[in-house]
A and B are shown apart, each in its own frame.
Chain A
Amino acid sequence: MEKTKKASDEKVSFFESKKGIIFTGAVVGIIAIILVALGNPKNMGFCIACFERDIAGALGLHRAEVVQYIRPEIIGLILGAFIAAYAGKEFQSKGGSSPITRFFLGIAVMIGALMFLGCPLRMMLRIGGGDLNAIIGLAGFAAGIGVGIVFLNKGFSLKRNYKTSSFDGYIMPIFAIGLLALLIAAPAFIFFSKEGPASQHAPIAISLLCGLIVGLLAQKTRLCMVGGMRDQIMFKQNYLLLGFVTIIVVTAIGNVALSNFKLGFEAQPVAHTDGLWNFLGMALVGWGSVLLGGCPLRQLILSGEGNSDSAVTVFGMIVGGALAHNFALASSAKGPTANGQTAVIICFVFLAVLSVANSDLIRKNI
C-alpha cells in the first residue's frame, strides 16, 4: 500500500519547528533547575555520563562509594523515548551498524566526559551556572566536533543498520523497568551512596517524571548537543543548535533567580580548573559523539526507540564509567589524575585509527 503526500502541503509539526525545539530546550532547562532545587548536585539536574556512572556503581561494577545510585532520570529518559516513539509509530528494532566499534566509542566518550566531569548536556548546565571551566570544555567540544566533521566529509561511516528481531528493541525499555524495580526494592546487593554526589538526589518519583518528560520531548525533537553544532557547521541548519542555546539561557536565568549563579573558575560544584584537560576531555567527547552520530543523551533516547546500536553504546558508557573509577581515570574537584590523562591520550589514538580506517582515506586505497 502506498501513501503519497505532498510535503509542501504538509504542515511542519510543532516539534519539527523552531518553536518546538526552543520549547524543549526551555523545558529541559527548567527541569534541570527543579531537580537541583529538589536535591540533585549543583549544575547536575541532568548529566548522562555521571548518571550512567552512578548506575554502574549501584550495580557494583565499580566500588567508588560516593558515586553509586540508580538514577531514575536515566530510566525516565529511556521509557519516555520508548513511549513517544511507540505512540508516534517510530519505534523500530534495528541495529548492526558496527556494534563493537560503538561499544568502545561509548567507553572513550565516557572517559572524556569523566575527565571533564560532565556530558555535553551537563556542560550546558554548568555554563548556565556560571562555571567558566565549562566554557573551556565547550571550546574543546567544538574542536572535537570539528575533527569528527573532517572525517565525515572524508566519507567516515560505521555502515548501515538492519532490522533486527522485533523483540530486540524492547530489551532496553525492559532493562529500564528492571532498574526501576531494583531502585524501589533496594536489595542489599545494590549500592547506594551515603555521602558524595550520588547521595544527593531529588525524590525518586520526581526524578522519574522529569526523565519521562525530557525523554518524550527529546524523542520528538531529536534534541542532540552534538547534532546542534554539527548541523550548523555542515549544513548551515540551526534547528538543533537553538535547543542547545535555549538550555544555557534558561538555566542561567533560573540560577540567577535562585541565587545559584556563580561566575568564575574557582570552587565550582563538581568541577575542576585544569583548563587543558577540560578542553581535551570534551574534545574527546565531541569527536567520539560525532562518530557515533549523537551525544550521550541522544544515544539514550535512540536506545528507547529500538536502536540496539545505541543500546550497545549506552552499555559501553556504563562499562566506561566502571573502568574510569576502577582504574582511577575520573577527575575529581582536585583535578585530573595521571591515569586519566593517559587514558584520554589512548582514546584519542583509538579515535584517530578508527576515523581513518572507516573513511575513504583507506577504503579507496585497498
Chain B
Amino acid sequence: MRIDTCGTSCPQPVLMTKKALDSNPAADKIEVLTDNNTSKTNVKKYLSSNGFNVEIEEDDDTFVLRGTK
C-alpha cells in the first residue's frame, strides 16, 4: 500500500493513512509519502501507535515512511 500525501497538511496525511489502514485492516506493510516535517512526525506517531515499525527515507524534500508489522 502506498499513499502519496505530498502537498497536504495535517491532519490530512494522518487521516489518509488512517483511512487506508481502516479499509485494509490486515495490511502489514504501508508506505506514506509526505513533504513536510510536521506530517512526517504525525504520521510516524500514528503508525507507531498502530503497531508498525517505521523507517524513514529522505529524498530531497520528500519523506517516505515505511511501516512494517
Which residues of A does B touch, CB under 8 Å? 2-8, 10, 16, 90, 92, 97, 152-153, 157, 159-163, 222, 227, 230-231, 234-237, 239, 293
29 A-B contacts, Cβ less than 8 Å apart?
A: A2-B58, A4-B57, A4-B58, A5-B55, A5-B56, A6-B55, A7-B48, A7-B53, A7-B55, A8-B53, A8-B55, A10-B56, A97-B9, A152-B15, A160-B6, A161-B7, A161-B8, A163-B61, A231-B14, A231-B42, A234-B15, A234-B18, A235-B11, A236-B49, A237-B46, A237-B49, A239-B45, A293-B10, A293-B11
Q: Is B11 in contact with A7, judged by CB distance below 8 angstroms? A: no
Q: Is A157 in contact with B12, judged by CB distance below 8 angstroms? A: yes
Q: Is A8 in contact with B54, judged by CB distance below 8 angstroms? A: yes
Q: B61 contacts which of A2, A7, A92, A152 (Cβ < 8 Å)?
A: A92
- Number of B positions contacting A (CB below 8 A): 29
Q: Is B58 in contact with A237, judged by CB distance below 8 angstroms? A: no
Q: Is A2 in contact with B7, judged by CB distance below 8 angstroms? A: no
A290's nearest neighbour on chain B, judged by CB, is B11
* Alpha-carbon gap, A221 to B61, bound state (A): 20
Determine the chain B residues whose CB is within 8 A of the CB of A152 once the complex forms. 11, 15
Determine the chain A residues whose CB is within 8 A of the CB of B49 once the complex forms. 236-237
Among the interface residues B11, B45, B48, which one has the most CB atoms of the partner chain A within 10 A?
Answer: B11
Within 8 A of A (CB), among B1-60: 6-12, 14-15, 18, 36-38, 41-42, 44-46, 48-49, 53-59
Q: Is B55 in contact with A4, judged by CB distance below 8 angstroms? A: yes
Determine the chain A residues whose CB is within 8 A of the CB of B7 once the complex forms. 97, 159-162
Q: Is A235 in contact with B18, judged by CB distance below 8 angstroms? A: yes
Q: Is A230 in contact with B11, judged by CB distance below 8 angstroms? A: yes
Given pairs A2-B58, A5-B57, A157-B12, 17 additional interface contacts (CB within 8 A): A3-B58, A7-B48, A7-B55, A7-B65, A8-B53, A92-B36, A97-B7, A152-B11, A157-B8, A160-B7, A161-B9, A222-B41, A234-B11, A234-B14, A235-B14, A237-B46, A237-B49
* Alpha-carbon gap, A206 to B58, bound state (A): 40
* Alpha-carbon gap, A161 to B8, bound state (A): 6
Determine the chain B residues whose CB is within 8 A of the CB of A90 once the complex forms. 37
Q: A235 contacts which of B41, B46, B61, B65 (Cβ < 8 Å)?
A: B46
Minimum distance in angstroms from B62 CB to a CB of chain A = 10
* Alpha-carbon gap, A16 to B14, bound state (A): 16
With A5-B58, A157-B12, A293-B9 already in contact, the answer to whether A16 and B41 are too (CB < 8 A) is yes
